[in-house]
Amino acid sequence: MKTVSETASFGGTQGVYAHQSSVCACEMTFGLYLPPAAAYGPVPVLWYLSGLTCTHENAMTKAGAQGWAAEHGLALVFPDTSPRGDDVADDEAFDLGKGAGFYVNATEKPWAPHYRMWDYIAQELPDLVFDAFPLDREMQAITGHSMGGHGALTLAMTYPDRFSSVSAFSPICNPVDSEWGIKQLGAYLGDDREAWSAHDSSLLMAERGFDGPVLCDTGTKDQFADRLKPETLAAAMAARRQHGAFRMQPGYDHSYFFVASFMEEHVAFHAGAMGLA
C-alpha cells in the first residue's frame, strides 16, 4: 500500500491510499478519514459506497461527512466504484464498465477478470484497512448513494453480523426489474436471474430483512426515480415490519447537494446504532 496524500481535516486526517488488488487484478485507490479519536486507539468504521461514474473522491470531497464523523469518533472508508487501468474492460456508456462496477463479482466476458467488486468490498479491502489502521473490526456500519446505496443494502443484508446499521441515499432498490440493473446485471452475471436476485435489496428485504436499523432517504424530485424504484423497497420494509425508516424528502433530487443535506443525520444514525451517541 502506498500513501497518495494525507490532509488534516476536522482534527483528524483525510488520507488517500493505493494498493495492488489481487481480487480485481489492478491497482485500486480508496479514501480513509481517521477522526482525532484514532490517535488514542481503534475507532468504529462507517463505509461509504459511491454511485455511478464516481471514484473514491466524490463523496470524500462533496458529502461533508468528515466533520460529523470527527464529532462521533467514526472513521470513514471511501472505496472506488470499479477496477481501473488500461487493460480493464470498459464501455462507452456511463452506466457500464469503469465507474459502474455495481458491487458484484462478474462472471461474464470481458468483465470477469477484473470486475470483482463484491469480494473487494466484502473481503480484500476490509482485511487491508483493519490491518493497517487503528480501526475497530467489531464496530462497523455501511451507507451509500444510488448504485452505492444498492451495494450498501445488499452487503448489509448478506453480512448482518458485520454491520450494526445500514443507510442509503437514493438507492437503486429493484435492479432485477429496472433500467439500472437489467443491463448491468445481465452484462456482468449473464442470464442467471437467481444470481441477480442476490443483488436486489427489495428482494433481499422481503426474504431476510436486516437485524439492525435501516435508514433510506430519497428525494421527491429525484430525476432517476423510475430507475431507482424506491416504492419497491418501501413496500418490502413495510410488509416485513423492518426496524427502520424510508423517507421521501420533499424537493430534493439525486445530487450531492441532497446527500450533503442529510449526511449529519445519517452519521448520527450510525453512531447511535453503535452506541456512540
pLDDT > 70 in the chain, percent: 100
Q: State pLDDT tens for residues 241-275.
A: 999 999 999 999 999 999 999 999 999 999 999 99
Question: What percent of the chain has a predicted confidence (pLDDT) above 90?
Answer: 100
Q: What is the mean pLDDT of residues 34-54?
A: 98
211-232 mean pLDDT: 98
**Reported confidence tier of residue 104, pLDDT bands at 50, 70, 90:** very high
Domain edges within the chain: 2-273
CB half-sphere exposure, 49, CA atoms < 13 A:
34
Please report the DSSP string for 41-108 in residue order. Answer: S-EEEEEEE--TT--THHHHHHS--HHHHHHHT-EEEEE-SS--STTS---SSTTSBTTB-TTSB--S
Q: How far apart are CA 184 and CA 117, in angstroms?
A: 13
- Average pLDDT on 6-35 reads 98
The model carries a pTM of 0.98
Q: Which pLDDT does position 94 carry in this prediction? A: 97
Distance from C-alpha of 30 to C-alpha of 15, rounded to nearest angstrom? 8
| Amino acid (one-letter) located at 266 | H
Task: Give me the CATH code for the 2-273 domain, please.
Answer: 3.40.50.1820
What mean pLDDT value characterizes the chain?
A: 98
Whether residue 169 has pLDDT greater than 80: yes
User: Chain-centre distance of CA 112, in angstroms?
Assistant: 21
What phi and psi values does residue 194 have, to the nearest 5 degrees? -65, -40
Burial of 22 (0-12, 13-18, 19+ CB in 10 A): exposed
Q: What is the mean pLDDT of residues 201-205?
A: 98
For residue 101, pLDDT over 90 is answered with yes
pLDDT tens per residue, range 61-100: 999 999 999 999 999 999 999 999 999 999 999 999 999 9
Active site residues: 146, 222, 254
Per-residue pLDDT at 277: 72
Please tell me the predicted confidence (pLDDT) of residue 154.
98
